[in-house]
Structure 1
Amino acid sequence: MTAVPTSSFSDSLDHKASSREKTEKSQRGKASWLVHLGVPTGVAFLVAVLSQIPTLTNRVFYFWDDSAAQFLPMWYRLGQRLMAGDFPLLLDTEAWIGGNLTAEAMFGVWNPVNLVNYLLVANFDDLATAGAVVKAEFLVILALGVYLLAREYGASRWAASAVAVALPFSGFTLYFEASIWIAGLMAFAWVPHFWWAARKMARGRISTIWPFLLGALCVTVGNPYGLLGIGLVLLVLLIEFKVGGTVKGAFTRLFLLGATVGGVALLVFLPLLGNSGVSWRNSKELFNNTQLVPSLQDYLSSSLPSYVPDIHSFATVSVRMTFPAMYLAWFVVPLLAWLDWSVLRRGWKQLLGVLVIGGVYLVATVGPSNFWMFRWPLRLVEYFYLAVMVLFAVLLSAGLKLDHVRRRAWITVGALAVTAYLSFASWPKIAAWHIVAVLLLGVLVALAVIAFRNGGSRPLVAVLHVGTAAALALQVVWFPMNRDVAPYNFPSSVAELKTFAARYPGTMVQVADRDPVIARGKGQFLEPDPEVWRDLLFGNVYRVAGVDTTTAYSGMGFKPFHKALCLNDYGGSKVRECPGDTFGNLWAPTVGGGPPLADLIKARTVVVQRAMIDTPQVPPGWKVAERTDYVTVLRRERDVPTWGAGRLSHVTPGTKVTNDTMPAQHEESVVFERATAKGPISLTFARLNWPGYKATVDGRPVGVRNGPGGLVTVDLPENLSGGKVALTWTPPGLWIGLTGALAGLVGALLLSAFQWRRRRSDAR
Structure 2
Amino acid sequence: MTTVSGTAVDESPRHQHADPGESPVRRWHGVATAAGVCVLVALLAQLPLLRNRLFYFWDDSAAQFVPMWHALGKRILSGEFPLMLDLHSWVGGNLVAEAMFGTWNPVNLANYVLVALIPDLGVGAAVVKSEYLVLLALGLYLLCREYGASTWLSAAVAVALPFGGFTLFFDASTWAAGLMSSAWVPFVWWSARRMARGRSTAWLPFVFGYLAVTAGNPYGLLAVCVVLLGLLVEFWVGRDRRAVRHLLGLGAMVGGVALLVFLPLLNNGAVAARQGKDLYNVGQLVPSVNDLLASSMPSYVPTIRSFAPGSIRMTVPTTYFVWFALPLLAWLDWRVLRARWRTLLAVFVFSGCYLVAALGPSNLWMFRWPLRLVQDAYFGLGVLLAVLLTAGLRTDHLRRRILVTVGVLAGSGYLAFSAWPKIAVRHAVALALLTVLTAAAVFAARRGARWLTAVLGVGTVAVLALQLAWFPANRDVTDYSFPTSTHDLRQQFGDRYQGTTFQVAELSLANRVGAERSWRHLLFGNMYRAAGVDAVTSYTGIGDRHFAGPLCLDFVGATCAKAYPRLWEPTEAGGAPLADLMRLRTVVVQRALIDAPEVPAGWSVAERDDVVTVLRRDGQDRFPDGRLGWVSAGSTVTADTAVGQREERVRFERGPHATGPTRLAFARLDWPGYQAEVDGVSVPVRSGPAGLVEVEVPERLRSGELTLHWAPPGLPLGLLGALLGALGAVGLSWWQYRQRRRTGGDAVSVTPSEPGTLGGREHRRL
Q: TM-score, normalised by structure 1?
A: 0.93
Q: Does residue 355 of the first structure (1) align with residue 336 of the second (2)?
A: no
Structure 1 partner of 2:585: 604
Aligned 1:102-113 pairs, distance under 5 A: 102-113=96-107
Q: Which amino acid aligns with 1:244?
A: G
The question of whether the paired residues in 1 share the 8 Å contact of 2:235 and 2:241 is answered with no
1:48 touches 1:136 (CA, 8 Å); kept in 2? yes
Displacement of 1:674 in angstroms is 1.7
Q: Is the 2:482–2:515 Cα contact (8 Å) retained in structure 1? A: no
Of residues 390, 395, 411, the one that matches 2:388 is 395
Which residue, 710, 717, 721 being the options, matches 1:729? 710
The CA deviation string for residues 126-183 of structure 1, in whole angstroms up to 9 with x for no partner, is 0000000000000011111111111111111111111101110000000000000010
Contact 1:509/1:605, CA 8 A, preserved across alignment: yes
- Which residue of the other structure, out of 444, 454, 459, is the alignment partner of 1:467? 459
| Superposed displacement of residue 290, structure 1 | 0.1
Q: Among 568, 576, 597, which residue is 2:554 paired with?
A: 568
Q: Whole-Å Cα distance in 2 between the matches of residues 299 and 643 of structure 1?
A: 61
Aligned residue in 2 for 1:323: 316
What corresponds to 1:759 in structure 2? 740
Retained in 1: the 8 A contact 2:580–2:629?
yes
User: Which residue identity is paired with 2:208?
Assistant: L
1:559 maps to 545
Match of 1:549 among 531, 535, 547: 535
Q: What is residue 24 of structure 1 aligned with on the other side?
A: none
Q: Is the CA contact (8 Å cut-off) linking 1:643 and 1:657 kept in structure 2?
A: no
Q: Does 1:218 align with 2:212?
A: yes
Q: Work out which of the residue numbers 377, 398, 417 in structure 2 matches 1:424.
A: 417
Shift of 1:507: 0.7
1:485-536 residue CA offsets vs partner (Å, 9 max, x unmatched): 01000001111111211110011000011122336xxxxxxx9432210000
Q: Deviations over 1:726-758 (max 9, x none)?
A: 111001101110011001000100110011011
* SS across alignment from 1:534: coil
Q: Which amino acid aligns with 1:643?
A: F
Q: In the alignment, which of 604, 613, 628 is matched to residue 648 of structure 1?
A: 628
How far 1:89 moved relative to its partner? 2.0
Name the residue aligned to 1:633. Answer: 614
Contact map agreement 2:129 2:172 (CA 8 A) in 1: yes
Correspondence for 1:406 among 399, 402, 417: 399
Pick the aligned partner of 2:518 from 515, 532, 539: 532
Question: What is the SS of the residue equivalent to 2:642?
Answer: strand
Structure 1 residue 705 and structure 2 residue 686: aligned? Answer: yes
Q: State the match for 1:77 in structure 2.
A: 71
Letter in 2 for 1:194: V
**Structure 2 counterpart of 1:714, one-letter code:** V
- Give the equivalent residue in structure 2 for 1:25: none
CA distance in 2, matches of 1:66, 1:451: 43
Number of the residue aligned with 1:616: 597
**Alignment correspondent of 2:80:** 86
Residue 453 of structure 2 corresponds to residue 458 of structure 1? no
2:508 alignment partner, SS class: coil
Number of the residue aligned with 1:496: 488
Match of 1:587 among 545, 568, 575: 568
SS in 2 for 1:90: coil
What secondary structure sits across from 1:108 in the alignment? coil
Higher relative CO (CA 8 A, sep ≥ 6), structure 1 or 2? 2
Deviations 1:330-389 (A, max 9, x none): 111101111000001111111111111111111101100000010100000001101110
* Counterpart mapping for 1:653-664 below 5 A: 653-664=633-644
Q: Is the 8 A contact 1:655 1:676 kept in 2?
A: no
Distance 1:545 1:675 in 2: 43
1:88 to partner: Cα distance: 4.5
Relative to structure 2, which stretch is displaced further, 326-335 or 647-656? 647-656
- The sequence identity of aligned pairs, in percent, is 57
- SS of 2:653's equivalent? strand
Given that 1:510 and 1:608 are in contact with CA atoms closer than 8 Å, whether structure 2 keeps it comes out as: yes
Alignment-derived partner of residue 171 in structure 2: 177
Amino acid aligned to 2:647: E
Residue of structure 2 in register with 1:63 after alignment: 57
Q: What is residue 185 of structure 2 aligned with on the other side?
A: 191
Equivalents in 2 of 1:568, 1:150: separation in Å? Answer: 44
Answering whether residue 462 of structure 2 is matched by residue 476 of structure 1, we say: no
Q: CA deviation at 1:543?
A: 0.4
Q: CA deviation at 1:211?
A: 0.4
Q: Name the CA distance, whole Å, in 2 between partners of 1:193 and 1:645.
A: 46
1:379 to 367, 372, 375: 372
- For residues 385 and 243 of structure 2, what CA distance do their matches in structure 1 show? 26
Structure 1 gap segments, 5+ residues each: 1-27, 520-526
Amino acid in structure 1 at the alignment position of 2:740 = R
Query: Which residue does 1:17 correspond to in 2?
Result: none
Deviates more, 1:98-107 or 1:351-360: 351-360
- Which whole-Å CA distance do the structure 1 matches of 2:290 and 2:418 have between them? 12
1:248 shift after superposition: 4.5
Residue 492 of structure 1 aligns with an amino acid whose one-letter code is T
Aligned mates of 2:356, 2:728 — CA distance in 1: 35
Could you tell me which amino acid in structure 2 is paired with residue 686 of structure 1?
A
Give the deviation of 1:762 after TM superposition: 0.7
Rounded Cα–Cα distance in structure 2 between residues aligned with 1:466 and 1:141: 21
Counterpart of 1:125? 119
Mean Cα deviation higher: 431-440 or 672-681: 672-681
In structure 2, the CA distance between the partners of 1:36 and 1:502, relative to structure 1 (3 Å rule), is: same
How many residue pairs get aligned? The number is 722
Distance in 1 (alpha carbons) for counterparts of 2:511 and 2:721: 45
Task: Give the conservation status (yes or no) of the 8 Å contact 1:489–1:528.
Answer: no
User: How do 1:283-294 and structure 2 match up within 5 A?
Assistant: 283-294=276-287
Matched to 2:116, the amino acid is: A
Tell me the distance in 2 between the aligned counterparts of 1:676 and 1:617.
39
Measure the CA separation in 1 of the matches of 2:573 and 2:114. 49
Q: CA deviation at 1:642?
A: 2.5
2:92 — aligned with what?
98
The one-letter code matched in structure 2 to 1:462 is A
Q: Which amino acid aligns with 1:71?
A: F
For residues 593 and 238 of structure 1, what CA distance do their matches in structure 2 show?
62
Question: In 2, distance between residues paired with 1:513 and 1:119?
Answer: 32
Q: Structure 1 CA distance, aligned partners of 2:599 and 2:657? A: 38
Residues 607-653 of structure 1: per-residue CA shift (max 9 Å, x gap): 111121111111122121111221111111224x4325111111112
- What is the aligned-residue RMSD (CA, Å)? 1.2
After TM superposition, give the deviation of residue 676 of structure 1 in Å: 3.4
Alpha-carbon offset, residue 303 of structure 1: 0.7
Residue 29 of structure 1: CA displacement?
Answer: 4.3
Q: Which letter does structure 2 place at the counterpart of 1:533?
A: W
Question: In the alignment, is the contact (CA less than 8 A) between 1:642 and 1:649 conserved in 2?
Answer: no
**Equivalent residue, structure 1, for 2:648:** 668
Q: What is the CA–CA distance in structure 1 between the aligned matches of 2:470 and 2:623, rounded to whole Å? A: 59
**Partner SS state of residue 38, structure 1:** helix
CA contact (8 A) 1:697 1:725 kept: yes
* Residue in structure 2 matched with residue 20 of structure 1 by the alignment: none
Match for residue 312 of structure 1 among 302, 305, 309? 305
Match of 1:241 among 235, 257, 270: 235
Letter in 1 for 2:511: I
